[in-house]
Amino acid sequence: MRFFLAALIIACFFSFTFSQKTIDETLQKFNSNSVDYITVDELKTLNQPLLLDTRKKEEFDVSHIKDAQWVGHQTFKIDTILKDYPNKNMPIVVYCSIGVRSENIGEKLLKAGYTNVKNLYGGIFEWVNRENTIVDSDQNETEKIHAFSKHWGKLLTNGDKVYKTKSKKEIEKKAN
């Protein structure tokens, strides 16, 4: 009986702790609002901002917002940005799946002296949920979007969800 009660309490805890019903609730839970948000509609009005995709490379390769540059999250190098984009006043918009990883990169950019950094509210998920186009690694429009995991994929209401991508080795092996 004690085991059953303990298991029930743990299950309730995890369902309340890890369930996200909306992007808004998830961002309130995981973000500190240390980087100002920009909405999808506001982003569409900007004149050529630098778009930085902070997701994993395999997520970016499935699809990304057109003209975005991949910088990654764990692989992000501020020195590369400083060298390639010396204008610290240029508009920069960081994004990831929903805006959690990109907030971390936005903080690093602000700390490095960039003054016009925004975090895309809801990330690429909100971009796709609002029926905006995305492109694949060959710059062709696609409906496919990496949903990160089945758990996070619940926040993605449009597009064809991809959860696992093939490695270059798997692709080459299949071609031979």
Residue 4 has pLDDT above 70, yes or no: no
**Confidence at residue 112, expressed as pLDDT on a 0 to 100 scale:** 98
Is residue 17, in this structure, part of any structural domain at all? Answer: no
Summarize pLDDT for 9-23 with one digit per residue, the tens: 444 444 434 445 899
Is residue 173, in this structure, part of any structural domain at all? Answer: no
Is residue 108, in this structure, part of any structural domain at all? Answer: yes
**Considering only 70-74, 120-124, 150-154, 168-172, which range has the smallest mean pLDDT?**
168-172
Is residue 80, in this structure, part of any structural domain at all? Answer: yes
Is residue 58, in this structure, part of any structural domain at all? Answer: yes
Is residue 5, in this structure, part of any structural domain at all? Answer: no
Residue 8 has pLDDT above 50, yes or no: no
Which CATH number covers residue 47?
A: 3.40.250.10
**Confidence at residue 14, expressed as pLDDT on a 0 to 100 scale:** 42
Mean pLDDT of the chain: 86
State the burial class of residue 39 (Cβ atoms within 10 Å of its Cβ: 0-12, 13-18, 19+).
Answer: middle
pTM of the model: 0.81
Is residue 171, in this structure, part of any structural domain at all? Answer: no
Range of the domain at 90: 24-161
Tally of domains within the chain: 1
Is residue 11, in this structure, part of any structural domain at all? Answer: no
